[in-house]
Amino acid sequence: MKIIFIGHFSNSKAAQPGASAAGDAVQQKIVRTLKQDSAIDLLSISQPPARSWPKGRLFFSNSQDSYALFPCLINVAFLRDVWFGLVCMKYIIKNKPHKVLQYNSYLFVNIFVIFASAIVGAKAIIIIQDYRVGSGFKVLAKVHDRIAGFFVRFYDFAIPVTEALAKKLKIKSDRLLVFPGAMEHDAPLINQDKVSSNKDAEITVLYAGALEKHNGLDRLLSSWEKVPENVKLFIYGRGSLGEEVLRAAQKLNNIQYLGFSSKDEIHRHMLKSDFNVCLRFSNGLDERFFFPSKFFSINCYPGFSLVNDFYGLPDGYRDAGLIINDDFSNILEILQCDKKYLRLTTAERQGYLYENYVWSKLLGGVVVNG
């Protein structure tokens, strides 16, 4: 079976400013999973996410890595999107796949993929990760997603990230499966370093992501004044709260801002962290239409995941307990919880997630055999 995967992720050799490390990781994981199936002849094409010119590079030449082909494009807003849509149409018509799997909804890609798939008789499937609604987005971005979303109903099958998004896009119930995402790694990761048993030892908490209110960073910083000094908060990323993070780091000795860094460095740090953070609030965006893909990444790590009860949080995960209250009133209780109990809860959470949220099950059931 020939399948074309259409993504918006970075060339692994040259990620650009403006790219999402979490988004890249999810799509690369999908490609790896599809390649593992010997019955699939996979072709993959992607538009590398980057800030549009003049803030970013003007021109991208043809390139390729182990995940995808990245066609040349002029990195000018609107023009690059139309061009990539046309390239996708040509790619589909030329290669005549049985199925086309597209990650996320983009107006011109949607139009040309639907049209080209109909020409060659391919089944068009789309995974919809987010839909821009809220004060944090420009009007044009919201209009784009609304128009692009209209065309989602013309795909043969859609996989929206939440039930609210499925209803918003008016997808027929017999042509959809709600699926928030899947684990980034094939099995829980292990930290080989010995953990100190000293109760006064340093406890590390790692936040890695966009420095924005919808990720709960402002609430996390506000709560840190009541946290003991041996509990250290390390922050990676960039965003509108950058200055607030710097002020907090200057004020409190147990906050350290490490700036924007590579995925590899963050991975090494997360392996050793006692806690890893993934929060989501409706500040500047509507959380019903955004499920944080980082959630499935941090829950692969040995450190305990600090998560609030955001929209779409899986019931089985919530039932395991130790969820941060939205007002952070219980954060100290969780940070000071017995380490053995935290390990047992982490194991329970990971067991549930690996049983229900892995890409091989979704792709095998919906894309390969669907």
Q: How confident is the model over 180-228, as pLDDT tens digits?
A: 999 999 999 998 664 554 556 899 999 999 999 999 999 999 999 999 9
Are 13 and 151 in a shared domain?
A: yes
Residue 316's domain comprises 203-356
Tell me the C-alpha distance between 39 and 364, whole Å: 11
Distance, first Cα to last Cα, the chain: 12
Tell me the C-alpha distance between 220 and 235, whole Å: 11
Task: Write down the H helix ranges in 69-183.
Answer: 79-95, 107-120, 139-152, 163-168
Are 123 and 252 in a shared domain?
A: no
- CATH code: domain of residue 153: 3.40.50.2000
DSSP character string of 237-251:
--STTHHHHHHHHHH
Is 368 contained in some domain? no
Q: Which of 49, 60, 58 is nearest to 18 (CA)?
A: 49
**pLDDT (0 to 100) of residue 15:** 76
- Alpha-carbon Rg for the chain, nearest whole angstrom, is 21
Are 147 and 43 in a shared domain?
A: yes
**pLDDT (0 to 100) of residue 199:** 54
Q: Which residue type is seen at 236?
A: Y
Are 242 and 115 in a shared domain?
A: no
Tell me the C-alpha distance between 216 and 141, whole Å: 23
Q: Please state the φ and ψ torsions of residue 206, each to the nearest 5 degrees.
A: -115, 125
Query: 160 has which bridge partners?
Result: 128
**pLDDT (0 to 100) of residue 367:** 84
CB 266 within 8 A of CB 237: no
Q: Which residue type is seen at 139?
A: V
Tally the domains of the chain.
2
Last residue in a domain, options 144, 179, 214: 179
Q: Residue length, the chain? A: 370
Q: Strand 123-128 vs strand 73-74: parallel, antiparallel, or unpaired?
A: unpaired
**pLDDT (0 to 100) of residue 200:** 61
Are 29 and 120 in a shared domain?
A: yes
Residue appearing with tokens 């538009």: 47
Is 243 contained in some domain? yes
Are 238 and 174 in a shared domain?
A: no
Is 207 contained in some domain? yes
Tell me the C-alpha distance between 53 and 55, whole Å: 5
Q: Please state the φ and ψ torsions of residue 78, each to the nearest 5 degrees.
A: 75, -55
DSSP character string of 11-71:
-TT---TT--HHHHHHHHHHHHHHHT-TT-EEEEEEPPP-PPTTTS-SEE--EE-SS-EE-
Is 346 contained in some domain? yes
Is 367 contained in some domain? no
| Residue that wins the pLDDT comparison between 51 and 107 | 107
Are 148 and 207 in a shared domain?
A: no
Q: How confident is the model over 318-370, as pLDDT tens digits?
A: 999 999 999 999 999 999 999 999 999 999 999 999 999 999 999 998 887 87
CB 279 within 8 A of CB 306: yes
Q: Which of 274, 293, 273 is nearest to 127 (CA)?
A: 293
CB 1 within 8 A of CB 96: no
**pLDDT (0 to 100) of residue 12:** 86
Are 174 and 308 in a shared domain?
A: no
